Structure 1
């Protein structure tokens, strides 16, 4: 019987062959027999160095290799940053929020933002409002919403992508080992790991990030490190923390006070606002090189 490892290697190699053919790259026999992701990454770097395809193609293939190495928690929208609907809000307010939102799907919570009771799709809402006896002030949002789908935060992106395609669902609620809600993940989040950011005329700019007049960046503490890296072309590590506030706490080994500043990863982080034990706003600027 064929091992799972062998099957996964052939699966990845098949995808690699297809994507490299699209770029006009010729593969050697040794490349086709590669068995590990490390070897695939090394071969990919070599082909890139030889100039057979550009950085964008390399990044896409690297993202494909990473689907099995990354987990849902690495790409999810953290609960502190996600937009959601309160089921207790007046129905007409909810209708206005959904229809004015740049997102087609939004989680619905009741009682607590961590108690997700459904996922509302704009098309389902419009379909409900087209019924003769339904008006914006009488529509039952929870009844219109789809049942939420909960997935473990440790699920690999490869498995989650397959699950999305199999179930024909585009959003899942992410929970930890204790069943506590951690955030949401979408099919688009995973696809962007392969092809990069998918621009859309309705996409909002990165929420919670703005450039100040002096060139520094003002960032809400809940902004994810991955989103910040993508938006600004940075390479801050995201293995030990998910949000930028979490990164500062991890690196400083304490809960900073307001106006405290730290330097790491060639950046200067200044705490602008703190609420209880949460860093809610930071200023980030390039670190000043020491005078020699």
Structure 2
């Protein structure tokens, strides 16, 4: 029921958001947009928490095209060009917003992209209209979706090796498991919640009928782990 689920449950976690630094040279910003699999990219200044706009690749190219095609343009067509002039104002939504309400807001505002924040205004993730539609009709494969390695890999013994940032929802969908997602969004978050500590590589925990082994950790983030049924 979309009226009972929140955007926090299905959002893309902040650790996986592709962002662009507003202080990069214009040509580099355009190159990053062209090489991205996403059409909309948040742009920040200073710290990544300070998102000042959202760049749409199509609008960015439309704005720079006259400079590139004008034979009388200066030797540097990017001189004086500010990508922020075509950036959209960032749209922030609370993590507690229901999927039903968020879908209505997307349709009302004629936009497909929102940044999710917690009660203190800290960035938690992003959500798109496509994410919500996938909850209704199943996964939507976009023609621009990259052929990426799936974040879940099965071992010969039947265990699953996954990225710590994988959402519990996606893991349950891929495996037909029923790990609880009421206390955490990602699998790494679930492990930290249950262990009440940030585990070290090699530690093993058992809860909810599964065995969790920490394979990789970067700073305080669990980046890879192996899960198997007990």
TM class by shorter chain equals 0.7 to 0.9
- Within the alignment, does 1:203 sit opposite 2:145 as a pair? yes
- Counterpart residue number, 1:102: 37
Structure 1 residues 99 and 164, CA, compared in 2 at 3 Å: closer, same or farther?
A: same
Q: Is the CA contact 2:152–2:163 (under 8 Å) kept in the aligned structure 1?
A: no
Structure with higher RCO (Cα < 8 A, 6+ apart): 2
Q: CA deviation at 1:141?
A: 2.1
Unaligned runs of 5+ in 1: 1-65
Question: TM-score normalised to the size of structure 2?
Answer: 0.86
- Counterpart residue number, 1:60: none
Q: CA deviation at 1:267?
A: 3.2
- Counterpart residue number, 1:51: none
Question: TM-score normalised to the size of structure 1?
Answer: 0.69
- Within the alignment, does 1:75 sit opposite 2:10 as a pair? yes
Q: Is the CA contact 2:155–2:161 (under 8 Å) kept in the aligned structure 1?
A: no
Q: CA deviation at 1:77?
A: 1.1
- Counterpart residue number, 2:58: 123
Q: Is the CA contact 2:91–2:115 (under 8 Å) kept in the aligned structure 1?
A: yes
Q: CA deviation at 1:92?
A: 2.2
Q: Is the CA contact 1:75–1:226 (under 8 Å) kept in the aligned structure 2?
A: yes
Structure with the larger helix share: 1
- Counterpart residue number, 1:40: none
Across the aligned residues of Structure 1 and Structure 2, the Cα RMSD in angstroms comes to 2.3
Q: Is the CA contact 1:81–1:223 (under 8 Å) kept in the aligned structure 2?
A: no
Q: Is the CA contact 2:37–2:146 (under 8 Å) kept in the aligned structure 1?
A: yes
* Count of residue pairs brought into register by the alignment: 222
Q: CA deviation at 1:282?
A: 1.2
Give distance in 1, aligned partners of 2:152 and 2:172. 14
